[in-house]
Amino acid sequence: MTDVQDRPATMTRNIPAPAVTIESKPFWDAATEGKFMIKRCNACGEAHWYPRALCPFCFSDETVWEESPGEGVIYSYSVMHRSPSGPYAIGYVTLNEGPAVLTNFVDVAPDGLSIGQKVKVKFQPTENGPPVPVFAPA
């Protein structure tokens, strides 16, 4: 194991191309244009994550895509140290719209994260796939 201090402070890891389904394709098409989309239900008004065709709260099929500024706070996180490519952080962001999103935190040192910290979405390229949302300190 290489010591944490020898690693880059950004915790950026290579992210593989995401599995894109016919249901999630609009999300990834928007991501390619730099837009972070969530889904909201027109029947009950609730936003949810990850995006679904049917609302996970009221089962209506009137769910619509909505662009989100991708702002929120860290709900929890963990920095994985046992990684051949260096430490990286996984965690949940509670978006201002309400839903929690699983993600990686970047542009931050391994000891620079805290629960409640404000973060904002950015997109990271993947190899031969659409860019994926990650979050950095706001």
Partner 1 sequence: MSIKGKAYIMGAYEHPLRDAPDKSTPQLHAECAKGALEDAGLTKDDIDGYFCAGDAPGFGAMSMIDYMGLRNVRHMDSTETGGSSYLLHVGHAAQAIAEGKCSVALVTLAGRPRQNKFFGGGAGKPGQLTDGPPEAGYENIYGGSTHNTYGMCAMRHMYEYGTTSEQLAWIKVAASHHAQYNPNAFLKDVVTVEQVVNSRMISDPLHLLDCCVVTDGGGALIVVSPEVAKTLNRPKVKIMGAGESPKGPMGGRGLDLTHSGAVWSGPIAFGEAGVTPADIKYASIYDSFTITVLMQLEDLGFCEKGQGGKFVADGNLISGVGKLPFNTDGGGLCNNHPTNRGGITKVIEAVRQLRGEAHPKVQVPNCDIALAHGTGGSLGTRHGAATLIMEREA
Task: CB nearer to partner 1: give 1 or 33.
Answer: 1
Cα atoms in the Cβ-side hemisphere of radius 13 Å centred on 26 = 13
- Number of chain residues interacting with partner 1 (CB under 8 A): 57
Residue 54 and residue 63 in contact, taking contact as beta carbons nearer than 8 Å: yes
Q: Which positions from 32 through 51 interact with partner 1, judged by CB under 8 A?
A: 46, 48-51
Kindly write down the DSSP assignment for every residue of 93-136, as one continuous string.
Answer: EEETTS-EEEEEE-SS-TT---TT-EEEEEEEEETTEEEEEEEE
Our finding on whether 31 is near partner 1 (CB under 8 A) is no
Q: CB of 119: closest distance to partner 1 in angstroms? A: 14
**By the criterion CB under 8 A, which residues form the site for partner 1?**
1, 13, 15-25, 27-28, 46, 48-59, 61, 75-83, 88, 90-92, 94-95, 98-104, 115, 126-129, 132
